[in-house]
Amino acid sequence: MSREVTLKVVDPVHVLAVRRKVDGQQGILRAIGELRPAVTDVLAGPPMALRLGFPKDGVFDVEIAFPVGRPLRREGFLSKTLPELPMFSITHVGPLEGGPEGTNLVDTRKKLVSLVNEHDLLVGDDPERFLYHEMPEADAVQPGSYVIEDQYPYHLPMWLRALEEGTTRVAGAEATARVMAGSEGLAEALDGPRAARWVQGAVARLDREVKDERARACILNACAHHYIVQSGMILQAAFEEVGRDLRKLVAKITDETLLGSKYWIDESGPDPMLYIERRPARREAYAQATDPAEKRYQACFCPLVREAIRKGKKVSRTFCHCSGGWYVQEWEIVFGEKPEVGLVQTMLEGGDSCIFAVKIPRGAL
């Protein structure tokens, strides 16, 4: 897609991994240096760092992963297989940091991020991967010192596959063919606006083919980003800290804004419900916006519909059940089972925010 950024499908890879908190790339290199002697005899590729979320107070959650030729056990390491994934890739050759402007690793990564943003591509999900092909022992600021590949996951192919599989399961092959019509080559086109138009049309076709909203919700739930390690760790730790008390957990994550959104429990109906008002995606721009449509645009996380919000284009509320799928996964950590998540309010229908209702399982309160 450019001279420097390529799109490729990476093969599954077996790794021995250790989770660490690090202070950026230098911390990653220290961790690799510390851990590599224990796996040198089985190492089958360049060491990797998987970024598990966004930094907090300058600290990153990462997995340091060492490729191996087959699944095996090693004390102190987790044995796992990283999945086959479509990835945007760019290779940095030069200093890690401290070099002339434009030559450092952060500058190379900006090229990848800028290209993804320019094309409005649906990315994310599994963690971003850094592969350390060459790492000198010293003299880190000299050009050519490091060869580091940055791999950023492309979510649209996975989104399309989940929509097709879910629709087939619920409505059968003929209905699925009608919903998916025109999707051939969509992911490969790398055209965000085209993908958004197609998805919006596909959701409208899904509404016609599957009349039951709960069934449509289950289909779209599966399209959600599924790699929730960082928020999952935060939620699990908070749950344990309050003695696994759901009411105290909801109060804690709301009062301390641990996950950014607003949470409250309503026990007035036949089933107790946990309500979630989703936080704005781009908080500073959201706070500065004065036009209601622009505020909703800045609040929306998804490039597949947010431009439609800005332009006032009608899009089926069914689409937002995709975001509901994130909360299915998140609260399964607490409940030990997948909860039913409903859509109460959506910015696609002019709401000031998206609000979801999680059905609290019996015995959880």
For 192-203, write each residue's pLDDT tens digit: 999 999 999 999
Please state at what angle helix 156-171 crosses helix 213-221, rounded to 10 degrees: 150
Neighbouring C-beta atoms of residue 163, cutoff 10 Å:
23
Mean pLDDT of 149-154: 96
**Per-residue confidence (pLDDT) for residue 96, from 0 to 100:** 87
Say whether both 278 and 241 belong to one domain: yes
Burial of 293 (0-12, 13-18, 19+ CB in 10 A): middle
Tokens at 193, concatenated: 């606006």
- Least confident interval from 92-96, 110-114, 133-137, 307-311: 133-137
Q: How far apart are CA 94 and CA 99, in angstroms?
A: 8
Residue 142 has pLDDT above 60, yes or no: no
**Per-residue confidence (pLDDT) for residue 37, from 0 to 100:** 96
Say whether both 346 and 304 belong to one domain: yes
Looking at 153, 182, 207, the residue that finishes a domain is 153
Mean pLDDT of 109-129: 90
Say whether both 93 and 164 belong to one domain: no
**Per-residue confidence (pLDDT) for residue 27, from 0 to 100:** 92
Say whether both 12 and 34 belong to one domain: yes
pLDDT-derived band at 57, boundaries 50, 70, 90: confident
Looking at 131, 153, 175, the residue that finishes a domain is 153
**Per-residue confidence (pLDDT) for residue 137, from 0 to 100:** 63
Say whether both 199 and 262 belong to one domain: no
Say whether both 145 and 172 belong to one domain: no
Instruction: Give me the number of domains the chain comprises.
Output: 3
Say whether both 272 and 355 belong to one domain: yes
Tell me which residue has tokens 């936080």. Answer: 279
Tokens at 74, concatenated: 């090693």
**Per-residue confidence (pLDDT) for residue 48, from 0 to 100:** 97
Give φ, ψ of 28 to 5 degrees: -65, -45
- Decide if 53 is inside a domain: yes
Say whether both 166 and 98 belong to one domain: no
Query: Per DSSP, which regions of 30-97 are E strands?
Result: 48-51, 60-68, 78-82, 85-94
Neighbouring C-beta atoms of residue 272, cutoff 10 Å:
17
Q: How far apart are CA 49 and CA 196, in angstroms?
A: 32
Say whether both 101 and 183 belong to one domain: no
If you average pLDDT over every residue of the chain, what do you get?
93
Q: Where are the alpha helices (DSSP H) in the chain?
A: 25-35, 105-118, 156-171, 173-179, 186-189, 192-209, 213-221, 229-241, 246-255, 283-288, 292-299, 306-311, 321-335
- Per residue in 153-180, pLDDT (tens digit) is 999 999 999 999 999 999 999 999 999 9
Say whether both 252 and 287 belong to one domain: yes
Tell me which residue has tokens 């060869």. Answer: 147
**Per-residue confidence (pLDDT) for residue 139, from 0 to 100:** 43
Mean pLDDT of 10-36: 94
Q: How far apart are CA 50 and CA 14, in angstroms?
A: 14
- Decide if 95 is inside a domain: yes
- Decide if 224 is inside a domain: no
- Decide if 318 is inside a domain: yes
Mean pLDDT of 69-93: 95
- Decide if 364 is inside a domain: no
Query: Quick one: what percent of the chain has pLDDT higher than 90?
Result: 84
**Per-residue confidence (pLDDT) for residue 125, from 0 to 100:** 75
Residue 140 has pLDDT above 60, yes or no: no
CATH code: domain of residue 112: 3.20.80.10
Q: Containing domain of residue 112, as a range?
A: 6-153
**Per-residue confidence (pLDDT) for residue 2, from 0 to 100:** 60
pLDDT: is 229 or 221 the higher one?
221
Residue 138 has pLDDT above 70, yes or no: no
Say whether both 252 and 321 belong to one domain: yes
Looking at 134, 153, 172, the residue that finishes a domain is 153
**Per-residue confidence (pLDDT) for residue 141, from 0 to 100:** 44
Q: Hey, is 136 helix, strand or coil?
A: coil
Residue 90 contacts residue 4 (beta carbons within 8 Å):
yes
